[in-house]
A and B are shown apart, each in its own frame.
Chain A
Amino acid sequence: MPQTLFDKIWNAHLVGTRADGRTLIYMDRHVLDDVRAPHAFRMLERQGRDVRRKDLTLVVQDHSVSTSPARTTRIDKAADVFVDATREAAARHHVRLLDVGDPEQGISHVVAPELGMVLPGATHACADSHAPTVGALGALGFGCGTTELVHILATQTMTLVKPKQMRIRFNGRLGSCVSAKDVILHTIGKFGIDAAQGYAVEYAGTAIESMPLEGRFTLCNMGTEFGARTGYVAPDEATFAWLSGRRFAPKGNEWEQAFACWRTLKSDDDARFDSDVSIDCDGLEPQVTWGTDPSQTIPISGVVPPSPAGHMAAHDRALSYMGFTPGVPIAGTKIDRVFIGSCTNARLSDLESAAAVVRGRKIADGVKAMIVPGSTTVKREAEARGLDAVFRNAGFAWEESGCSICAGGNRDGAKPGERCVATSNRNFENRQGAGVRTHLASPAMAAAAAIAGKLVDVRQMMDGH
């Protein structure tokens, strides 16, 4: 029987069937962040249980840390509670911690692949909805709650209901200044905010094969925003090249052995998917969200849409929150803030694409703009390439790594009514602070907005440059 790559990884991780009929799936690695670690370890201790596989456990500090260039270990008095409790719990349980100040500290979904903790064909759990990000390497990432996380700590397994399977083929090729973020925003806009609910999604097609590898993280990351349980791209030569030499990746003979195994990781030609759809990427424009969920996306040449029949109330609420009337062109909308960061778009290639726009330019008067690298490693590599100077010279703040203002979890957030162009993944009401209006876009588009002081088509800015 032909199998999808999801089937193959799933079957290879089947541990057994529990007395209640639930399937137990082995988790090869799991990551705890500072929002869940304090409760998870405490719940484990109250049950009198221990971490089963300390060596497969990684703890990170990302959500609550300051990203201030002058940070010590703190954001403010209140967040200290999480950072300190995480540090203490990791020490109590003798598990690996990437603490504030560690040269490899950063956002869990950036750090785990970057260290080679995530490998093709592996399963990976994180008590965060964006766990599927790591699918970019041909692994299966599963989000979970804190109680499920405790289950993983104690048993190294998850009780999962096998999802249905979807394949999205991205055909054609992307134009200049159009990236993975535009592809996935367009996809969510086309299919809807819960279109992949209950599915594992395979992202395939020529546009993915030719995409820079790190763009695949952006795609898999945003799968969460249309409900995907998990998602992946089959690994290829680009994947193996990206992984080679990473700290926890296999070395020497073991690499050769792994490599032979990884090359078989793809869906069979005649594998069946419950849903098999395609997206044409030829001519795709840079995208930007106008509303309060990631499906409310339009091309930069578009106008804010009128309410569709049947969804009046929600659409009108989004229009009101965002301060728009239908029919207004989105380009030209004045903006106040720019945030280039997050688990979606803060890898080295993201910063490079933003720097290409910013180089030799200044941000517009009155705009506050910040770059928050996805990890301290990314920050160091960007500095080695001189990107920090490019951004600083243009007037951007160059920050330390963390989740930052993606979810408003940092100092110095935007004010009510202000518009923030963000490279993150959620534009929900009040997410970046009470009344803050978020426009999701790619790093290149966010950089262009910072320069222009308004939403603009980055391709026009780059013409003749």
Chain B
Amino acid sequence: MQPFTSLTGIAAPLLRDDINTDQICPVLPLRVLDPDYGAQLFARMRKRPDGSDNPDFVLNQPQYRSAHILVAGRNFGCGSARESAAWAVEAFGIRCIVARSFAELFRNNAVRNGVLPVVLPDGAMDVFQAKVVAVNGATNFMVDLSQKFIVCPDGSVFPFEFDAADRAALLQGLDEIGLTLQNAADIAAWELRCRKTQPWLQSTDRQAEPK
């Protein structure tokens, strides 16, 4: 896992609710195994139908082209489980998304790609969004995962909650499978028990061939 400790960068406001994975990384262009994911991020919002840049889209505005922090509304990342949505965010260079809430599958994918999904409660979020809009990409924000806060250019501080295990994994860039395999004996013991109590769950012998 790519570690995340702290980040200093421009914060771009995309203040919509329910931004879905089809918007974050459209399906159709991904018919190659390893596309340029950064170019796919919000592809249909960034481009006009004729293929030219949409100058109104936030990440196309000069002050936000190298944003590292994205600020959104509620239910960010709803829709698909496709990890390409998180890959596109990361490849573009965004390492932190601040939102009112996240869809769970996207949130999990983000964490596993070193992208920090920060939730601010509604009251704080209203104030924070106003600051992001007012700063307009002129100055950096700072996100600190070890201290669990965001510092705005005016010095104001926004603390946030973060899952302890995910925080530890991000701070250290842990190998999650390696961590789980420390419990390899537990897994084997579970399987042994299951073979006795619900043997049908531990076997997929071909019991009958298809007609």
Q: In the assembled complex, which residues on chain A have CB atoms less than 8 Å from the CB atom of B200?
A: 119, 249-250, 254, 257-258
Q: In the assembled complex, which residues on chain B have CB atoms less than 8 Å from the CB atom of A426?
A: 22, 79
- With an 8 Å Cβ cutoff, the count of chain A residues facing the other chain is 83
**From B22, B81, B211, contact of A431 by CB (8 A):** B22
Surface stretch bound by B, among A151-159, A389-397, A440-448, A451-459: A151-159
Surface stretch bound by A, among B59-67, B104-112, B138-146: B104-112
Q: With A81-B33, A426-B79 in contact, do A15 and B183 touch (Cβ < 8 Å)?
A: yes
Q: With A18-B183, A24-B186, A150-B177 in contact, do A227 and B81 touch (Cβ < 8 Å)?
A: no
Mask, B163-181, CB within 8 Å of A = 1, is 1110011000010110111
Instruction: Give chain B nearest CB distance to A15 CB in angstroms.
Output: 5
Q: Which of B102-154 contact A (CB under 8 A)?
A: 103-105, 108-109, 112-113
Q: Assess the A119–B201 pair: CB atoms within 8 A.
A: yes
Q: Assess the A143–B81 pair: CB atoms within 8 A.
A: yes
Q: Assess the A78–B31 pair: CB atoms within 8 A.
A: yes
Q: Assess the A82–B31 pair: CB atoms within 8 A.
A: yes
Q: Is the C-beta of A127 less than 8 angstroms from some C-beta in chain B?
A: yes
Instruction: Give chain A nearest CB distance to B57 CB in angstroms.
Output: 14
Instruction: Give chain A nearest CB distance to B38 CB in angstroms.
Output: 17
Q: In the assembled complex, which residues on chain A have CB atoms less than 8 Å from the CB atom of B112?
A: 145, 147-148
Q: Which of A137-194 contact B (CB under 8 A)?
A: 143-148, 150-151, 154-157, 159, 161, 193-194
Q: In the assembled complex, which residues on chain B have CB atoms less than 8 Å from the CB atom of A251?
A: 207-208
Q: With A18-B182, A144-B108, A145-B83 in contact, do A261 and B75 touch (Cβ < 8 Å)?
A: no
Question: Is chain A's binding surface mostly helix, strand, loop or mixed?
Answer: loop
Closest A residue to B49 using CB positions: A434
Q: Is the C-beta of A65 less than 8 angstroms from some C-beta in chain B?
A: no
Q: With A78-B31, A247-B206 in contact, do A314 and B16 touch (Cβ < 8 Å)?
A: yes
Q: Is the C-beta of B210 less than 8 angstroms from some C-beta in chain A?
A: yes
Q: Is the C-beta of B55 less than 8 angstroms from some C-beta in chain A?
A: no
Q: Assess the B177–A81 pair: CB atoms within 8 A.
A: no
Closest B residue to A17 using CB positions: B183
- Cα of A146 to Cα of B23 in the assembled complex, Å: 19
Q: Assess the B164–A21 pair: CB atoms within 8 A.
A: yes
Q: Is the C-beta of A306 less than 8 angstroms from some C-beta in chain B?
A: no
Mask, A333-356, CB within 8 Å of B = 1, is 000000000000000000000000
Q: In the assembled complex, which residues on chain A have CB atoms less than 8 Å from the CB atom of B209?
A: 247
**From B23, B27, B169, B201, contact of A20 by CB (8 A):** B169
**From A35, A55, A81, A161, contact of B204 by CB (8 A):** A55
Q: Assess the B22–A28 pair: CB atoms within 8 A.
A: no
Q: Give the contact-size bracket for chain B.
A: 35 or more
Q: Which of B77-111 contact A (CB under 8 A)?
A: 78-83, 86, 101, 103-105, 108-109
Instruction: Give chain B nearest CB distance to A424 CB in angstroms.
Output: 13
Q: Assess the A151–B177 pair: CB atoms within 8 A.
A: yes
Q: Is the C-beta of A205 less than 8 angstroms from some C-beta in chain B?
A: no
Instruction: Give chain B nearest CB distance to A319 CB in angstroms.
Output: 15
Q: Assess the B103–A227 pair: CB atoms within 8 A.
A: yes
Q: With A85-B33, A193-B78, A428-B20 in contact, do A248 and B181 touch (Cβ < 8 Å)?
A: no
Instruction: Give chain A nearest CB distance to B105 CB in angstroms.
Output: 5
- Cα of A433 to Cα of B27 in the assembled complex, Å: 10
Q: In the assembled complex, which residues on chain B have CB atoms less than 8 Å from the CB atom of A197?
A: 75, 101, 103-104
Instruction: Give chain A nearest CB distance to B187 CB in angstroms.
Output: 6
Q: Which of A289-347 contact B (CB under 8 A)?
A: 293, 311, 313-314
Q: Which of B16-36 contact A (CB under 8 A)?
A: 16-18, 20, 22-23, 26-28, 31-33
- Cα of A8 to Cα of B157 in the assembled complex, Å: 43
**From A22, A39, A55, A150, contact of B203 by CB (8 A):** A55
Q: Is the C-beta of A93 less than 8 angstroms from some C-beta in chain B?
A: no
- Cα of A39 to Cα of B112 in the assembled complex, Å: 15
Instruction: Give chain B nearest CB distance to A170 CB in angstroms.
Output: 24
Q: Assess the B207–A249 pair: CB atoms within 8 A.
A: yes
Q: In the assembled complex, which residues on chain A have CB atoms less than 8 Å from the CB atom of B23?
A: 428-429
Q: Assess the B104–A229 pair: CB atoms within 8 A.
A: yes
Q: Assess the B80–A24 pair: CB atoms within 8 A.
A: no
Q: Is the C-beta of A19 less than 8 angstroms from some C-beta in chain B?
A: yes
Q: Is the C-beta of A460 less than 8 angstroms from some C-beta in chain B?
A: no
Instruction: Give chain A nearest CB distance to B104 CB in angstroms.
Output: 6
- Cα of A96 to Cα of B44 in the assembled complex, Å: 37
Q: Assess the A18–B105 pair: CB atoms within 8 A.
A: no
- Cα of A64 to Cα of B33 in the assembled complex, Å: 12
Q: Which of A410-463 contact B (CB under 8 A)?
A: 416, 426, 428-431, 433-435
Closest A residue to B198 using CB positions: A261
Mask, A11-45, CB within 8 Å of B = 1, is 00101101111101010110000011011000000
Instruction: Give chain B nearest CB distance to A190 CB in angstroms.
Output: 17
- Cα of A458 to Cα of B186 in the assembled complex, Å: 55
Q: Assess the A258–B18 pair: CB atoms within 8 A.
A: no
**B interface with A by C-beta (< 8 Å):** 16-18, 20, 22-23, 26-28, 31-33, 44, 49, 74-75, 78-83, 86, 101, 103-105, 108-109, 112-113, 163-165, 168-169, 174, 176-177, 179-184, 186-187, 190-191, 194, 198-201, 203-204, 206-211
> Can you sample 22 A-B contacts with CB below 8 Å?
A18-B179, A38-B33, A47-B177, A78-B32, A82-B33, A104-B210, A127-B81, A144-B108, A145-B109, A147-B83, A148-B109, A151-B177, A159-B180, A193-B78, A247-B208, A249-B207, A251-B208, A314-B16, A314-B18, A409-B27, A416-B49, A435-B49
A-B complex: 5 closest residue pairs judged by Cβ atoms: A78-B31, A16-B186, A145-B109, A250-B200, A145-B83
**A interface with B by C-beta (< 8 Å):** 13, 15-16, 18-22, 24, 26, 28-29, 35-36, 38-39, 47, 49, 55-56, 64, 76, 78-79, 81-82, 85, 96, 103-104, 117, 119, 121-122, 127-129, 131, 143-148, 150-151, 154-157, 159, 161, 193-194, 197-198, 227, 229, 247-251, 254, 257-258, 261, 293, 311, 313-314, 407-409, 416, 426, 428-431, 433-435
Inter-chain pairs besides A19-B179, A408-B28, 17 sampled, C-beta below 8 Å = A26-B187, A28-B201, A39-B83, A55-B203, A129-B79, A129-B80, A129-B81, A144-B105, A147-B83, A147-B109, A151-B180, A155-B177, A155-B181, A156-B191, A227-B104, A429-B23, A430-B22
